[in-house]
């Protein structure tokens, strides 16, 4: 089973819980731009527990065309009372600040999908377009949007390699190492060498390494004392990369490559190539790094 692709503390754009105080901002105002489903539920409502995951799945598959807001009426009864809700679960669709449609009861996924499609049109999206949008969102640092795009692909195809790789890299950037690892366990046997998976695994490996390098100032002092402390240089490069100082990370590894190709079986070059895999071919730091690497190798 695919791990939940959205963690509220880091990545949550189209699904959220609301309160009576936030209802106007989360529902009324947002519905001026896109339709919003409001799922009224309570902890004691058994059918609610069946319905909410289906609503989340359908909304994720919409790729941002609609948002879902959940409201626990046991804690926040005012809005449900104003809308005259008598039984649960109850779902209302808001558009342009007004409730325009709704239903009660735990409907099957096919009916919920049909309900949403009446509001926003067909949910089936162009997979290639979603992947491109997800990659663009990673580049611009919009991790919530990237997660939504890749997750929308995985709703219908849990083994789509580019979507799995993209979602894993999104988690790495968000600092969610366990989730990134979990996503990569879904890669089908024999597909680990796919370019998207290789890039995601490289990004994950670099992030794990970065978590163990310690204080960068100590590494810098060690190098100042002994410029041939190549392990300190390599660790410093990994730490600099974690701070998004990619060109500085490249420079540290180039120093190792220039000084001693035999150290750690050409360890400086191997680390640099792992960076290239994690960053992508067209990343500016990759271009910079390949140019510097060529100047050393072919001098």
Query: Residue 89, SS3?
Result: coil
Residue ranges in 140-266 assigned as alpha helix (H): 143-156, 161-173, 177-184, 195-210, 216-225, 230-242, 246-259
Q: How far apart are alpha carbons 32 and 282 in whole angstroms? A: 38
DSSP state of 11: -
**Closest CA relative to residue 279, chosen from 209, 203, 198, 204:** 203
Contact 5, 150 (CB under 8 A): yes
Q: How far apart are alpha carbons 203 and 145 in whole angstroms? A: 19
Q: How far apart are alpha carbons 27 and 29 in whole angstroms? A: 6
Q: Strand locations in 67-172, DSSP E?
A: 67-72, 90-95, 98-104
Which tokens sit at 11?
């990545």
The set of catalytic residues is: 45, 48
Instruction: Assign residue 264 a region (left: φ > 0; alpha: ψ between -120 and 50; beta: otherwise).
Output: left
Sign of CA dihedral 124, 127, 128, 129: positive
Omega before residue 4 within 30° of 0, cis? no
Which tokens sit at 100?
């325009």
Strands 98-104 and 90-95: antiparallel
């Amino acid at each position: 089973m695919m791990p939940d692709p959205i963690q509220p503390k880091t990545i949550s754009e189209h699904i959220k819980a609301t309160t009576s105080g936030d209802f106007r901002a989360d529902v009324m105002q947002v519905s001026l731009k896109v339709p919003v489903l409001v799922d009224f539920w309570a902890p004691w409502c058994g059918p609610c527990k069946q319905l909410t995951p289906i609503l989340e799945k359908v909304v994720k598959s919409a790729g941002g065309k609609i948002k879902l807001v959940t409201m626990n009426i046991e804690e926040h009864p005012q809005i449900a009372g104003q809308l005259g809700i008598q039984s649960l679960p109850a779902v209302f669709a808001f558009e342009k600040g007004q409730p325009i449609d709704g239903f009660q009861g735990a409907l099957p996924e096919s009916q919920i999908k049909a309900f949403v499609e009446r509001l926003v049109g067909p949910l089936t999206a162009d997979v290639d377009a979603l992947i491109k949008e997800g990659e663009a969102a990673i580049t611009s640092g919009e991790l919530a949007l990237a997660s939504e795009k890749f997750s929308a692909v995985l709703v219908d195809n849990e083994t789509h390699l580019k979507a799995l790789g993209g979602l894993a890299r999104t988690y790495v950037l968000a600092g969610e190492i366990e989730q990134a690892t979990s996503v990569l366990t879904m890669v089908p046997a024999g597909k680990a060498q796919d370019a998207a998976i290789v890039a995601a695994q490289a990004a994950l490996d670099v992030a794990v390494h970065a978590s163990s390098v310690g204080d960068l100032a100590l590494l810098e002092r060690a190098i100042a004392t002994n410029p041939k402390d190549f392990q300190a240089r390599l660790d410093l490069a990994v730490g600099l990369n974690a701070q998004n100082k990619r060109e500085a990370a490249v420079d540290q590894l180039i120093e190792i490559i220039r000084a001693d190709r035999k150290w750690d079986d050409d360890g400086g070059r191997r680390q640099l190539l792992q960076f290239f895999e994690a960053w992508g071919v067209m990343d500016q730091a990759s271009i910079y790094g390949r140019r510097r690497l060529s100047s050393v190798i072919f001098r």
